[in-house]
Amino acid sequence: MSSPILITGAGQRIGLALAEHFLAQGQAIIVTYRTRHDAIDILAGKGATCIHADFDSDAAITHFIEQLKSHTNQLKAIIHNASSWDCEANNQDYATLFDNMMRIHAKTPYLINLAAADLLLHYQQNTGQAADIIHMTDYVVEKGSPKHLAYAASKAALDNLTKSFSAKFSPAIKVNAIAPSLIIFNDHDSEEYRAKTIKKSLMEIEPGCTEIINSVELLLNSRYITGRSLPVDGGRHLK
């Protein structure tokens, strides 16, 4: 079995698509989930190591790291996908909202990267190939968001950590980010919302998770890209 890839937040949507992709390749994976959707049972049945992790406190993050290290002594890559789309309109306890966004999107990757660096370095030493960290950020890093202020700020913090960790861990570990805009709609999204959102990009499509999978594979297979953010936004910055 190959050295595992860790994917956080793999119970649905992009994280789940990545998990299924790697399992189909015969790649060992460790995934985290907050809610045990049926998809987690399916992933476990296919051989994935599935760890419940809410990342709702420092203690919870520390506990997850202890669990991770009980399952493996090396990692090929970490993909930080766990995320929350909470916003000011839905949560008027602004102080708690800001803390939650920063903890999920910046503090959790920060602590995991530092604590799991030895697992990534072990892979690099055993294979002679650089290990990888990939942060899933967001298009809003580039322009901010008046409706998701705390969310945008936390993703911007993660974008900055991409640069810092790249400088800290090179050349043994490559550290990059992927910054998507619309990838897939939610089932409950209205037709009006879908039509409006599609028009925000030049390409005017719902691209699907394959776009993220291809971007992840590009970064994993590259020997030379580090400290960069890969935009997957359909040219949205030009509209």
172-212 pLDDT, tens digit each: 999 999 999 999 999 999 999 999 999 999 999 999 999 99
Helix axes 13-24, 38-45, angle to 10 degrees: 10
Tokens at residue 125, please?
A: 């030493």
Q: How many CB atoms lie within 10 A of CB 36?
A: 12
DSSP codes of every residue in 91-153: ---HHHHHHHHHIIIIIHHHHHHHHHHHHHHHHHHHHSS-EEEEEE--THHHH--SS-HHHHH
Q: Are 183 and 236 in contact (CB under 8 A)?
A: no
Partners of 132 in beta bridges:
77, 174
64-91 pLDDT, tens digit each: 999 999 999 999 999 999 999 999 999 9
pLDDT(2) > 90: no
The catalytic residues are 151
Partners of 6 in beta bridges:
30, 78
- Helix, strand and coil content of the chain, in percent to the nearest 5, comes to 50, 15, 35
Half-sphere exposure of 168 (CA within 13 A, CB side): 15
Query: For the chain, what percent of residues have pLDDT higher than 70?
Result: 100
